[in-house]
Amino acid sequence: MQRPPLFVRPQRRARGALVVAVALAMAIVPAARSHAASKSSTKTPATHVRTGLESVEKQVKEFTLPNGLRFIVVERHQAPVFSFITIVDAGSSSDQVGTTGLAHMMEHMAFKGTPWIGTTNAATEQTRMAAEEKAWSALLDERRKGARADTTRLKQLEQSFDAAQRSARDLVVSNDFSKWIEQAGGENSNAYTADDITAYFYSMPSNRLQLWALLEGSRMSHPVFREFYTERDVVYEERRMRYESSPLGRLLLEFTNAAFAAHPYGFGGIGFPSDLRTFSRTQGEQYFRTHYVAKNMVTAVVGDVTLADVQRYAKEYFSDLSSAPKPPPIDTVEPEQHAERRVILEDPGQPLIIIGWHVPAASDPTYPAYEAVADLLAGGDYSRLIKRLVKEKRVATRIDAGPGYPGEKYPNLFTLFVTPAAGQDPLKVEQEVYAALEEIETTKPFTNDELAGYKVRVKAQKIASVERNEDLANELAQAQTLYGDWREFFREQERVQRLKVSDLQNAMKTAFIKSNRTVGILTSPTTGAANEEGK
Amino acid sequence: MRTQHFLRSVAVLVAALSLCVVTIAFAADDAKWNPANVPTPPLRPIATVTPKRVALANGIVIYLLEDHTLPIVRGIAYAKGTPLWVERGKVGLGPITGEVMRSGGTAKHPGDALDDRLASIGAAVETSYDGREMANASFHCLADNTNEVVGLWAEIMREPAFPDTKIELSRVGLRRQIASRNDDMSDVLFRVMRQAVYGKDNIWYWSREPEYATIEAVTRQDCIGLHRKLFEPSRMVLALYGDFRAADMTKLLTSKLGDWKGAHEPFPPIPPVPTDSKPRLVFADKEDVTQSGVLLGHAGFRADDPDYPAMSVFETALGGGFQSRLVNRIRTERGLAYATGAVAGDGYVRPGIFIAYSLTKSESTMTALGLLRDEVKRSVTEPFTNDEVRIARNTVENTFVFNFAQPSDILFRAAYYEAIGYPQDFLQKYQKALQSVDGAAVTAAARRKVHPEQLVAVVVGREHDFERPLASAGLPVERADISIPPPPSRTKQGSVVPAPGAEQQGREWLRQAADVAGGPLAWQQVKTQRLETSSTVVMGGRNIAASSKLAWKLPDRIVSVRTLPFGETKIGFDGKNGWSTMGATIKDEPELAKSVREEYERSLFYLFGHADQIQVAAAEPQTIDGVDYRVARVRGGAVPEFSLYFAPDGRLARIEYQGDGPQGPALNTEILSDWRRAGKVQYPYGRRVLIDGEPYLEAKVTQVTFDAPIEDSSFSKPSR
């Protein structure tokens, strides 16, 4: 069964990932990992580590079109199916003040079709869409006058806008693009907008390779952003579902907004309500023109395909993608935080705790240490915080940890999500967390055995992550976007193997200081402290 | 077919450049970019993969599939279950059993050590049971560790230890889940739906809803009993996949599981699903949302129903994706929802629930409800168009290949089908049946399976913001109570719940009471007891004199003779078998093993003799007849939780538990008094028993002797 396109903040699922953030999503999606495509600094010299993936690596092929779009292809012929993923190296951190939520909006728009898919008359439709855009512009101008707006004129403009929308909609063949995917047997069709990237993916029976190429090539190079203003309402409903009607969603927004003073990571991705009510299709097109260019994208195809066929269809259907240069990264660097930030949300929901400390981007050589710390703190029943707070003291029922919130391309947060046990005062549980961390930093550091276990788990997870076509495609495309080279997916383990306990201890010492942290607490409205059982 | 008509003038398009990202040369490319022109070559045939099937002598069925591509091994064991095995007062026993099977480990490999060992080799063993039709135990590991991990997996399945500490830990997790169950609107929506469609007293509803009181009532013995029923070798199906040799794996599994003998508890038939929900609007108020959940539902059908293929097509066309009527009408055209859709109501083991749903802002709740009702009605009264049916059928048929995307999919499905009693060619038959599904077939199936006039509407949201009142839907309105029953400590009688960290305190009180009565060592050393009492029993409103003689070889050989005016009754247990006599009648009493165990665990021999090991936690104090008692709860062990009341002088004054009364289950209160020296201990010579707070028995000890020898034969069932 198809699921609608999806906004989600996926995080690294391997080693200490923030599963809770993913829990806000309706569908499980692969982890998004995205870094600055810094070419040389993060590439690993080939150290020999037996990973179990040697044969898989040999099967990976690639080619690049003249416009700069890179394809990664792995032939696997055991079943007549293939999976693909296209990753655009831009996400909601590319949003700007005034148009937050636009990156996610354009992900929705990418399903609206082309001049040949989704309309009964492309040319007339464009005229009507132009009229719709004009009507919107006029309406917005009048609304901006606020209390001084002429109410009669306002009503007229609203009616004109409605009429223009209806007129444009008359020419629409609703959801035509998605219908093509669905009826061809497209499986697990979905997309997501993370802070660093936007991803589109599905699987198809392998006799549909040409259709796939047409659909994906045409929607990325010749999109028509029809039904923009109705879809804005749909996105607002998504905001209501994920962030307004869920206690975790409410807390997460407050927390995220507080943790970043300057960088767009602090916007929250879904968009502020006023922006969701005012941004225009024109602004959306500008965003698309800037970021959906061949040099800013990668497509991975894994399954029952041949390299020759993929090359042929790539040339035929993806050549129209813009060959404009890759847009520059964001120059804003989040300034150093000098004071603890605390957000206390009084809410009818059960208590929750989120703690975040600023850590470097994933391209930094210390980043792997943070991933290891996350696993040893909260990766499972074997981990320190879960042993102490869940199993022994029973003050929490669940803990998740990981760097890379809300993204990894830029300096980000190492976050702890803690679910207090029923009847526990979240403020007291927070202190228990700090006490446990303090102990690891001073008297009970991580041991060589613990770190060795982490290295084995990484190995096992990586092997498991190539089993299914869609997972392998995802891993290769993520690494290509992240490191500028898909081979880094196979090399990553070497960085992990070189980790020493001192790396982890230093990472904690650097990041886990009070002035560097932002804390979000959801607590009961009555006392602001202990939450009552059985509300 | 869609008709597409294009102007061939580039000039017009350049003028409209503001709408297009790239100038479109419509001229020669129209045909190229039209997906209708893309040929569809035939699909390559799906390679058959046949797992190897092995049956062990004890009935365990194993499916094996080798795959040497990656150096990993995974497996799963399916264990059939039924909610009938968990009484209503103990809902939560299923998930607790499923969790603690793994978290508690085994005697040889306790849980925490197991956690560390498996993590250190990048492996996992997992168990779970939701209380309904299927429990499972699974594992995965690197191929190098196969022998060890398969061994641990087998051991967990056969002999989980269920330690009390991990049972309590599981309860802590469940308490948080219970407390949070109204936090997210969609959780509330689907729970209210199940309650509305099944009825709150129907097993299929309540078996999913643990409460604080029901999880408190779960004991270790309950977990052991449920595990034994679930993990019954003669009913289990296993599946293993990965980098091993089938012959070696068969040998390994035979050695680990071949001699496993189950208890052969019979498997009762699955309780039927109610099909008679009353059409009405059930509403649950939720204040802290800006979005409502709206749905319509009624009972569905089983996947082996002949209508299943046609209903798959129906589901896709009504609410299964972007082609569907619901998504188009409610999401795309009106922008009223992000999430909307429908499911036909098929279930593999038990019939599912037909659902059409939509999440929409509060201010469009009633509109969305109206649209849903219209579309569901239309789906039955107005046949789907040929286009709709074609697209939906193509969708269902063309995704069929994904059932075979990985060899492991084929393996695990074969095992699952065998576990649930479906034929191995179920999917192939389904695929064949799809070929004859046309518009008429879809309409006919829809009319048999979807009954708009029987639909229950469920609405959850902030009523204050709705655009129209609930009554405007024209259905009788019923308001659901979703409040969470408070934990037992707030109810008047019976259970009390210990606060976290109260175990230290409870143990101190018990130790003090033991000390006052002679000390744990003295009590431990008692091997036998002879006891004679004279008592008055309240029966039928009259006081009846009685006397009794008890001989007890601790812990579990006991014989008791009670003399009443109308005759003598004897009850005995010789360590294995229980019996009773009344006059000349001799009966077997199979339940006696349990009763004797519980008697022992509530006895002073156990409570005082093992004061330092018992799990006892301080609870809220109580004042009775002007006396302030310190109260503690004893948990764990064979006996359900019970309370101990300590008097101000530190003595144990009362023991209170849920037991039996003359008319069925009742609260039993034993009041101890008149403590006197007997042997090396202090023994209560006065005893009163209340049943549900009312006087039932008053007894005086006439003689008590410790450690006198007792012949084993006294405990045996008398011969006729």
The CA dihedral of A166, A172, A174, A178, to the nearest 10 degrees, is -140
Q: Which residues contact A255 (CB under 8 A, 6 or more apart)?
A: A343, A354, A356, A518, A520
Give the pLDDT confidence score for residue B499 in this predicted structure: 53
Contact B433, B272 (CB under 8 A): no
Which of B184, B322, B390 has its CB closest to that of A175?
B322
B574-613 per-position pLDDT tens digit = 999 999 998 888 989 888 888 898 899 999 999 999 888 8
Average pLDDT over residues A112-137: 97
Residues 6+ apart with CB under 8 A from B711: none
Which residue from B301, B297, B367, B385 is spatially nearest to B329, judged by alpha carbons? B367
Contact B669, B687 (CB under 8 A): no
Q: What is the pLDDT of residues A82-108, one digit of tens each?
A: 999 999 999 999 999 999 999 999 999
Confidence bin at B333 (pLDDT 50/70/90): confident
Q: Residue B441's pLDDT is what?
A: 96
Residues 120-149, chain B, touching A (beta carbon < 8 A): 120-123, 140-142
What pLDDT shows up at residue A526?
63
Mean pLDDT of B267-283: 91
Nearest-CA residue of chain B relative to A461? B122
Query: What is the nearest CA distance from B373 to chain A, expressed in angstroms?
Result: 21
Output the six-digit token pair for A159: 């009616």
pLDDT of residue A76: 96
Q: Which residues of A touch B401 (CB under 8 A)?
A: 79-81, 185, 205
B423 pLDDT higher than 80: yes
pLDDT at B7 over 80: no
The DSSP annotation for A264-279 comes to GGGG-SS--HHHHHH-
> CB-based contact (8 Å) between B212 and chain A?
yes
For residues B529 and B543, what is the distance between their CA atoms, to the nearest angstrom?
28
- Are B120 and A81 in contact (CB < 8 Å)? no
Q: Which among A145, A144, A141 is positioned nearest to A160, based on CA atoms?
A: A141
> Which residues in chain B are contacts of A464 at CB distance < 8 A?
72, 140
Instruction: Inspect the interface and report whether the beta carbons of A230 and B332 lie closer than 8 Å.
Output: yes
Q: Which residues from A are below 8 Å from B183, CB to CB? A: 246-247, 348-350
B290 and B362 Cβ atoms separated by less than 8 Å? yes
The whole-angstrom distance between B1's CA and the closest CA on chain A is 11
What is the DSSP secondary-structure string of B228-245? HHHS-GGG-EEEEEESS-
- Judge whether residue B720 has pLDDT over 80: no
Nearest residue of chain B to residue A316 (CA atoms): B32
Query: Are B58 and B258 within 8 A, CB to CB?
Result: yes
Which residues make Cβ contacts (< 8 Å) with residue B196, sequence separation at least 6?
Answer: B277, B280, B282, B297, B456, B458, B478, B480
Locate B401 and state its tokens.
Answer: 């290949």
Cα-based angle B393, B399, B405 (whole degrees, multiple of 5): 160
Question: Residue A288: is its pLDDT beyond 50?
Answer: yes
**B290-320 pLDDT tens trace:** 999 999 999 999 999 999 999 999 999 999 9
Please tell me the distance from the alpha carbon of residue B245 to that of residue B248, in angstroms, as a whole number.
Answer: 5
| Nearest CA distance, A404 vs chain B (angstrom) | 23
Supply the angle between the helices B439-449 and B386-398 in degrees, to the nearest 10. 80
- Which helix (H) or strand (E) covers residue B100, if one does? helix B93-103
B150-177 pLDDT, tens digit per residue, is 999 999 999 999 999 999 999 999 999 9
- Nearest residue, CB atoms, A211 vs list B35, B142, B397: B35
Residue A467's closest chain B neighbor by CA?
Answer: B70
> Could A348 and B288 be called an inter-chain contact, meaning their C-beta atoms sit closer than 8 Å?
yes
Residue B9 CB contacts under 8 Å (≥ 6 apart), including other chains: A123, B26
Interface probe, candidates B170, B176, B412, chain A, greatest A C-beta count within 10 A: B176
- B42, burial (CB in 10 Å: exposed 0-12, middle 13-18, buried 19+): exposed
Angle between helices A448-464 and A367-378 (to 10 degrees): 100
Mapping DSSP onto H, E and C, the string for A490-531 reads: HHHHHHHHCCCHHHHHHHHHHHCCHHHEEEEEEECCCCCCCC
Position A1 scores a pLDDT of 26
Selected for mutation to probe chain B from A235, A245, A465, A532 (highest B CB count within 10 Å) is A245
Distance from CA of B58 to the nearest CA of A (A): 33
**A44 or B158, which is more confident:** B158
Question: Residue B546's closest CA among B526, B568, B518?
Answer: B568
**For residue A525, what pLDDT band results from cuts at 50, 70 and 90?**
confident
Task: Compute the distance between CA of residue A411 and CA of residue A262 in angstroms, rounded to an integer.
Answer: 12
Separation of CA B30 from chain center: 58
CA dist., res. B312 & res. B434, Å (int): 9
The set of residues, in sequence order, having a beta carbon less than 8 Å from that of A471 and lying 6+ positions away, is A30, A465
Residue from B342, B305, A30, A222 nearest A22 by CA? A30
pLDDT band at B28 (very low <50, low <70, confident <90, very high): low
Can you give the length of chain A in residues? 535
Quick check: B520 pLDDT over 60? yes
pLDDT in tens, B490-502: 444 444 555 555 7
pLDDT at A49: 57
pLDDT tens, residue by residue, A146-195: 999 999 999 999 999 999 999 999 999 999 999 999 999 999 999 999 99
Distance of alpha carbon B535 from its chain centroid, rounded? 45
Residue of B141, B171, B338 to mutate, interface with A, max A Cβ within 10 Å: B338
Residue B640 predicted with pLDDT over 90? no
Q: A130-146 burial, b if ≥16 CB within 10 A, otherwise e?
A: bbbbebbeebeebeeee
**Closest CA relative to residue A407, chosen from A200, A193, A262, A88:** A193
Note the pLDDT of residue B16.
38
Q: Which residue has the higher pLDDT, B505 or B390?
A: B390
Task: Find which of A237-246, B134-143, B692-701 is predicted with most confidence, using mean pLDDT.
Answer: B134-143
Predicted confidence at residue B501, as pLDDT, reads 59
Cross-chain CB nearest to A182 (options B6, B290, B322): B322
What confidence tier does B663 reach under pLDDT thresholds 50, 70, 90? Answer: confident
A333 DSSP assignment: -
- B489: closest chain A residue by CA: A533
- Residue B607 near chain A (CB below 8 Å): no
Q: What percent of chain A has pLDDT over 90?
A: 84
Strand positions, DSSP E, B300-447? 301-302, 340-343, 346-347, 353-361
Q: Which residues contact B194 (CB under 8 A, 6 or more apart)?
A: B204, B205, B208, B353
Q: Rounded to a whole number, what is the distance in Å from the CA of A119 to chain B's nearest CA?
A: 7
